Amino acid sequence: MPGIPMIKRGDNLGRVIGEAIRRSGLRLEDGDVVVVAQKIVSKAEGRIVDLSRVSPSRSAVELAGRLKKDPREVEVILRESKEIVRLGHVLISRTEHGFVCANAGADRSNAGPGMMTLLPRDPDRSARRIRRELERTFKRRIAVIISDTWGRPFRMGCVGMAIGASGMEPLMRLRGERDLHGRMLRTTVLCPADSIAAAAVLVMGESGEGTPVAIVRGARYRPGRGGIGKVVMPPGRDLFR
Amino acid sequence: MPGIPMIKRGDNLGRVIGEAIRRSGLRLEDGDVVVVAQKIVSKAEGRIVDLSRVSPSRSAVELAGRLKKDPREVEVILRESKEIVRLGHVLISRTEHGFVCANAGADRSNAGPGMMTLLPRDPDRSARRIRRELERTFKRRIAVIISDTWGRPFRMGCVGMAIGASGMEPLMRLRGERDLHGRMLRTTVLCPADSIAAAAVLVMGESGEGTPVAIVRGARYRPGRGGIGKVVMPPGRDLFR
């Protein structure tokens, strides 16, 4: 989606995106998924911190030395972390949402000089608001995903991940298969929310500079209420906690 | 890509895929990425095991009780594993390729009754052979990815992953950003190979039943020699080993 202007606090993202779609001569169709980069959602919601106003705690200063980071950045990351999951050359933490990611999702890139963006407080709600606005405007049933760009254990390089979803089931259960004796072998659960976010980030670029919105058409998913919490692995099932 | 026939040992996959593309009236364009499901690559290369000929070892029998699996399946998984990384409700192992995945990538779904497919020995070479055949046929420069469908730590649901790549750089380095003082803040490395595999599996379905081949057009990647080894995180960098 070309033509998204610079976003500032208080902007109605659904309206801004709808106007950009109209201006570009596009329209939305039933089943389209509108993927919106976390960075502009955080800016619109004021989830942005001026580092010059942050006083790092003693533990943030110590950790910053080890990580070779700005102590104020580390202070912000610690405030956004519910739990430190791993500490090495990067800081991996679990956020209030249950996400496990580097730096609790706090990030300086494209945040503006001396600023750091935080993840939206409730990315599902952010997605829902944008979806409702776009559905009213275009009279179509769509889904909205809020995407971020994360690293993964065991694999080099970042990919798009869904941190919020509305209008779609983020997971999709495939029919189990049966063996010769008709016994159910297994059921596979796919994550179309993450797959669509990964596809979108391919055209958006990391943190969506320039292109913070993409429209994905023809993706296979089930409409539903959404709720990215279903993608957060319960700690009891998580072998890598 | 519709119209891929049942694949059997010895099939020349590049030729089979090329014929299906011609029959469907499609053609390949420069920059296209042809994504091929691991399952048909393994079948063509004879990387398939008849479980009735497998004698489980004592440790496979013990482990099978714990995992509630067929001891012969566990025996095959252990033979394909270089290292057991985690053992819980599933068995996570590191393969000879360096991949960390459930069951060392060995799988009964769509393998045929009583059969189990193994990962290709050298998926980059599998991708290269298919790419060369298709490039000869269509006189276009393309890339080929071999995809599998894997779970991830911390996230529910499976997504497509690249287990082999040819004709593209699997990673893509984005220019680092600079802060107010012109200091480089960071460089982001994306993994277009995994992102393209995730997008393709969305239309192919898990393990590619029915649709084991997809053509991805317009994806952003850098042409190159490929080699999925670049995506395998070196153990020293891996906080979750």
**pLDDT tens profile A152-178:** 999 999 999 999 999 999 999 876 655
Cross-strand pairs, A50: A115
Pair of tokens at residue A17: 């995106």
Confidence of residue A222 (pLDDT cuts 50, 70, 90): very high
**What is the ipTM score, two decimals?**
0.93
Q: Taking the CA of residue B7 as centre, how many other CA atoms within 13 Å lie in the half-sphere pointing to its CB?
A: 33
Q: What is the pLDDT of residue B109?
A: 81
DSSP-derived letter for residue A98 is S
User: What does residue A232 show for φ and ψ, rounded to 5 degrees?
Assistant: -75, 120
Range(s) within chain A of domains with CATH label 3.90.1660.10:
48-117
User: Could A158 and B188 be called an inter-chain contact, meaning their C-beta atoms sit closer than 8 Å?
Assistant: yes
pLDDT mean over B1-14: 94
Residue-averaged pLDDT of chain A:
91
d(CA B131, CA A147): 32
Range(s) within chain A of domains with CATH label 3.30.1330.100:
1-46+120-232
d(CA A191, CA A220): 11
Pick among 3.30.1330.100, 3.30.300.30, 3.30.1130.10, 1.20.810.10: CATH of B1-45+120-231: 3.30.1330.100
B235: chain A residues, CB-CB within 8 Å:
none
Cα angle value B191/A230/A176 (rounded, 5°): 85
Pick the range with the lowest mean pLDDT from A164-168, B30-34, B107-111.
Answer: B107-111
3-class DSSP state of B103: helix
Q: What is the pLDDT of residue A181?
A: 45
3-class DSSP state of A49: strand
User: Could A202 and B199 be called an inter-chain contact, meaning their C-beta atoms sit closer than 8 Å?
Assistant: yes
Nearest to A238 among B87, B154, B199 (CB): B154
Helices H / strands E in chain A, number of each: 6, 11
Task: Judge whether A108 is closer than 8 Å to chain B, CB to CB.
Answer: yes
Which CATH architecture fits A1-46+120-232?
2-Layer Sandwich (3.30)
Q: What is the pLDDT of residue A111?
A: 83
Q: Is the dihedral of CA A42, A46, A51, A55 positive or negative?
A: negative
Pair of tokens at residue A164: 């919020």
pLDDT digit string (tens) for B39-52?
999 999 999 999 99
A178: nearest CA in chain B?
A: B109
Nearest to B190 among A157, A171, A192 (CB): A157
Confidence of residue B205 (pLDDT cuts 50, 70, 90): confident
Contact B30, B142 (CB under 8 A): yes
pLDDT digit string (tens) for A51-85?
999 999 999 999 999 999 999 999 999 999 999 99
Helices (H), B50-146: 58-67, 71-80, 123-138
| Domain B48-118 class in CATH | alpha beta
d(CA A103, CA A92): 6
Q: CB under 8 Å to B83, separation ≥6 — which residues?
A: B93, B94
A236: chain B residues, CB-CB within 8 Å:
none
B199: chain A residues, CB-CB within 8 Å:
195, 198-199, 202
Question: What is A48-117's CATH number?
Answer: 3.90.1660.10
Range(s) within chain B of domains with CATH label 3.90.1660.10:
48-118
User: Could B149 and A188 be called an inter-chain contact, meaning their C-beta atoms sit closer than 8 Å?
Assistant: yes
B86: chain A residues, CB-CB within 8 Å:
239-240
Q: CB under 8 Å to A140, separation ≥6 — which residues?
A: A28, A29, A30, A32, A134
Answer whether 0.90 is exceeded by the pTM: yes
How far, in Å, are A1, A26, A37, A158, B129 from residue A23 at the CA level?
10, 8, 20, 32, 45
> Does the pLDDT value for residue A2 go beyond 90?
no
Task: Judge whether A113 is closer than 8 Å to chain B, CB to CB.
Answer: yes
Query: Which residue has 């990315």 as its token pair?
Result: A123
Range(s) within chain B of domains with CATH label 3.30.1330.100:
1-45+120-231
pLDDT digit string (tens) for B135-145?
999 999 999 99
Contact B35, B13 (CB under 8 A): no
Confidence of residue A38 (pLDDT cuts 50, 70, 90): very high
